[in-house]
Structures are given as structure tokens and as C-alpha cells.
Amino acid sequence: QVQLVESGGGLVQAGDSLRLSCAASGRTFSAYTMGWFRQAPGKEREFVALITWSGTRTDYADSVKGRFTISSDNAKNTMYLQMNSLKPEDTAVYYCAAGRWSSGVNDYEYWGQGTQVTISS
């Protein structure tokens, strides 16, 4: 059974940092791209960042470039999202996902349950 489990969300102030983790289990993910997406209340789920499982290639949404860093630890089967200089508009439920190299939600086959990130001003 494939599982993606996010952790690390919480309530912080604007300008603070958080690190999200996504623990993967149940299959080999070496052929997959891993992505972070987020969904704010009343909005569609949107792309945040993605990384090849090898960690050799990454991409980011313009809104988070220079502030967020995606990384992976293959030995731990875990992906991370380091989020710095957080803004209130970063408030959302953050999801990790496994799929193909794409920023499109529909191109991802496996999803975690999400972790809430709330940024107060």
C-alpha cells in the first residue's frame, strides 16, 4: 500500500520558517517525480515545487522562488520543503504527491493527506 505522509505544518508568524516533510512508503519511488502542492480555502490546488527522486532536478512556482527549497533524502524515503520568509498568502493545506515531471495536479498519481500551514500577519 502506497503511503505519503506529510508533517511539519503549524502556525507561525510572517517572516518565520517551517520545514515540511513527506515520508514515502509502499513502493519504489525512484521513477517518480515528487511534488508539493497547496490549497487555500476557496481556491484550487496549486503547484509549489517539484523534484526528481534522485534530487538532480527541481522546479518552483514563481510565488515561492527564492524562499522555498525542495530536497529529498533517498536513504530515508523522505522529501522536504524548507519554507523561509513566510507570508500570510502562503497559508494553505500543503500536500505532497508522486507522479511525473509536471506542475499539473492531474499528473500526480499518489497524494498525502495534507498538513496545514497558517501564517499570521
Cell 499539473 locates to 104
Residue 30 banded pLDDT, cuts 50, 70, 90: confident
Main-chain dihedrals φ then ψ at residue 45, nearest 5 degrees: -65, 135
CB 93 within 8 A of CB 114: yes
| pLDDT for residue 112 | 97
The stretch 28-47 carries a mean pLDDT of 94
Q: What is the DSSP letter of 56?
A: S
pLDDT band at residue 1 using 50, 70 and 90 as cut-offs: confident
Q: How confident is the model at residue 54 (pLDDT cuts 50, 70, 90)?
A: confident
pLDDT band at 66 (very low <50, low <70, confident <90, very high): very high
> What is residue 2's predicted lDDT score, i.e. its pLDDT?
82
CA dist 121 and 116 (Å) reads: 16
Q: For residue 14, what pLDDT is reported?
A: 98
Closest listed residue to residue 64, CA positions, set 78, 42, 83, 91: 83
